[in-house]
Amino acid sequence: MNLHEFQAKQLFNRYGVPTPQGQAVTDAAEARQAAELLTGERWVVKAQVHTGGRGKAGGVKVVDSVDAVEEAAQGMLGQRLVTHQTTAEGLPVNQVLVEKPTDIQREIYLAVLLDRSSQRIVFMISAQGGMDIEAVAEEEPEAILNLYVDPVVGLQSYQCRRAGFFLGLTGAAFKQLQQVMQNLYQLFTENDASLVEVNPLVVTGEGDLLAVDAKVNLDDNGLFRHADLAEMFDPSQEDDAEVIAREFGLNYISLDGNVACMVNGAGLAMATMDLIQKEGGEPANFLDVGGGTTAERVAEAFKLILSDKKVKSILVNIFGGIVRCDLIAEGIIQAAREVELSLPAKEVELALPVVVRLEGTNAAIGRELLANSQMSIYAAQDLTDAARKAVAAARESNA
């Protein structure tokens, strides 16, 4: 789960990481009031969306009057911001952050993340803050320092000093870096984060460190321990279908193709998508219904697929180990009836061609249920045959 910048900064402040003074607002009049309360002669207005590259896309504006603050907020709120990290539709701007500007002398990149290959929390540090870290990593890998933290002893003081020397910090900033790193490490571990990023962490004109930007990603699997953080979830920043999938415990990611997949198991789902591409098609989604699914969850999964207007065919690929194939079949039938898919009695064809491959526990019963459901479904002998039939059906639907 991602947090907005203003939410991440609230968390930073809770852990003693300094950030600029600011206030998140939902309308232009509130933005004006926030600027007046902050006082000063200049302000920064930032669109609150779950994407990077806001500045280049017009989502960050520096203005020099309260009228301009109100105007900038009015221009952002209610609009959709398109960046290089979003789709062409962009993301809705429902809140803006009004802040005091910072006297920036230096910009530093600092991130804490989980490195699965080493099974360690790692600090990524670079003197080239404010830039795309991906470009820095590719063009100048020596400009990035990686510090791996032993989970037994935690972040050590010598590692923080090494980071300070690497960055060439002196005076108060050198001393403050150790506290900032220790506080971010504590924030990361205590809140089950998967990424904490400060880009940039700046050295101000007074020689102090300040987190001008803040990004926090949380591990969904740990949210049950953090009810206060779970309440910060903003569904407007997510794909509608993915939000619904989350409610029913489904793993769903929308893609750009036209062959929909419903599979049990992430590995099998990825293999299914690979075979669809091998046969010349493009998958429309990643959808894992899980091992301990029910007919109701399968029905919801099927309805999610049908809500995607790009979909031209559906491939259901179930290997019954923990999950029973007859439950999957019941779910498909239930979904078909709920969304009023075709029945021969109505002399209407299925809205979308469906290819089903069932193997494993109660597979024969599942196939029998589908055969007796009076629905037009293509049976597949194996996975390759299923992918080939689903791709061919999608092509015929486009013709």
Residue 290, helix vs strand vs coil: coil
What is the chain's alpha carbon radius of gyration, rounded to the nearest angstrom? 26
Asked whether the predicted pLDDT for residue 346 surpasses 60, the reply is: no
Give 372: exposed, middle or buried? Use CB within 10 Å, 0-12, 13-18, 19+.
exposed
Say what the pTM is.
0.78
Residue 158: active-site member: no
Q: What is the mean pLDDT of residues 116-142?
A: 86
Q: What is the mean pLDDT of residues 213-229?
A: 94
Mind listing the pLDDT tens digit for each residue in 68-83? 999 999 999 999 999 9
Q: What does the pLDDT read at residue 341?
A: 47
Confidence of residue 9 (pLDDT cuts 50, 70, 90): very high
Residue 197: active-site member: yes
CA–CA separation, 296 and 302 (whole Å): 10
Give 291 or 93, the one with higher predicted confidence.
93
Q: What does the pLDDT read at residue 60?
A: 95
Mean model confidence pLDDT for the chain: 88
Confidence of residue 308 (pLDDT cuts 50, 70, 90): confident
Confidence of residue 364 (pLDDT cuts 50, 70, 90): confident
- Dig out the tokens for 233 from the structure: 């979830």
Catalytic entry in 197, 252, 300, 330: 197
CA–CA separation, 300 and 333 (whole Å): 11
CA–CA separation, 25 and 31 (whole Å): 6
Catalytic entry in 5, 70, 109, 185: 109
Q: What does the pLDDT read at residue 351?
A: 60
CA–CA separation, 396 and 290 (whole Å): 30
Asked whether the predicted pLDDT for residue 391 surpasses 60, the reply is: yes
Q: 282, 276 in Cβ contact below 8 A?
A: yes
Pairing of strands 251-254, 285-288: antiparallel
Counting Cα atoms < 13 Å in the Cβ hemisphere of 17 gives 28
Q: 232, 218 in Cβ contact below 8 A?
A: no
Q: 297, 304 in Cβ contact below 8 A?
A: no
CA–CA separation, 63 and 50 (whole Å): 23
